[in-house]
Amino acid sequence: MQVKMSKGFGTSEPYESLHEWDCFVQGGTGGLVISKSGNYSTCFIEVFPKNPDCFIRGEGKTIQEADDAAWAKYQKIKSCTHEMERRNRTDGYDYCKHCSYSATVFEPLTRCCKCKEPTAYTYDFRKKWYCKKHSRLKPKDPNQKVDLWGGEKITPRKLKKLWKKCATAVLRSNGRMGKVIPKLKYGRHFECDGYMLMMDFQRQKDIVIKRGLELIASLKRARLKVK
Ligand SMILES: [Zn+2]
Ligand SMILES: [Zn+2]
């Protein structure tokens, strides 16, 4: 069968395999292998058999050698009485002690913190696990940065400070000089002299922050001029 070769390293001419692969196969020359005993360049063949469902990688000095190595692994996998072990994984993905077969056979060792079912679906910033069903209850990391504009990132705490700074500048520019009280728990707005500056919607927030930053910048410029 014809094997698709990856573009980018060396040749991208298809390679004609002598083995009877019955699944998707891809390969390449000059693949870089990062290893403890030193990085090296190699030819490789990657196979994705369906029965059993697994992944095989063969390597060699030539593509033919890599193909033969992968085929040998595949024959071994098919004739092996697998004995699976987790190694150091907790997600249920296992490796055969005798051949290169690996697959999710065991249950995950981690459990959903809500229903206690074994799961490796997702975990939160405190490393608590959640199954698919309970993943919607996963709390957000309070220190995770949110996007402001143009890829700039900011923590929610800093964002709230920025809102207050901008809201204050906007309120002052409208002649409201009283105490600015953030009301961010239910809905989002700032109160000043009995007036509510709404920041419930993204558009409102954008307007307040944009106008606020402009006002702050022009105040700074004015101060510099006085000096
Ligand atoms: Zn095996
Ligand atoms: Zn659950």
Q: What is the CATH number of the domain that holds 63?
A: 3.30.160
Element at 23 (helix H, strand E): none
Q: How far is CA 89 from CA 95, 108, 139, in A?
A: 10, 9, 25
Q: Which ligand is nearest to the CA of 121?
A: 2
Look up the pTM and report it.
0.53
Considering the domain boundaries, does residue 184 fall inside one? yes
| Domain around 194 | 146-226
Considering the domain boundaries, does residue 219 fall inside one? yes
Centre of ligand 2 to C-alpha 185, Å, is: 28
- Final residue in a domain of this structure, among 79, 94, 114: 79
Q: At 107, is the pLDDT very low, low, confident or very high (cuts 50, 70, 90)? A: very high
Residue 149's pLDDT is what?
61
- Final residue in a domain of this structure, among 51, 79, 107: 79
Residue 11's pLDDT is what?
61
Per residue in 17-61, pLDDT (tens digit) is: 999 998 999 988 876 777 787 777 788 899 999 888 888 999 998
- Final residue in a domain of this structure, among 47, 63, 79: 79
Segment 48-75 mean pLDDT: 91
Residue 7's pLDDT is what?
64
Centre of ligand 2 to C-alpha 121, Å, is: 10
Q: Which ligand is nearest to the CA of 74?
A: 1
* Number of compact structural domains in the chain: 2
Among 145, 142, 108, which residue's Cα sits nearest to residue 126?
142
Query: Ion ligand 1 — residues with CB under 5 Å?
Result: 80, 82, 96, 98-99, 101
In angstroms, the CA 120 to CA 129 distance is 7
Considering the domain boundaries, does residue 91 fall inside one? no
Name residue 181's beta-bridge partners. 191
Centre of ligand 2 to C-alpha 91, Å, is: 15
Considering the domain boundaries, does residue 156 fall inside one? yes
Asked if pLDDT for residue 8 goes beyond 60, the answer is: no
Q: Assess contact for 19 and 71: CB atoms under 8 A.
A: yes
Residue 137's pLDDT is what?
94
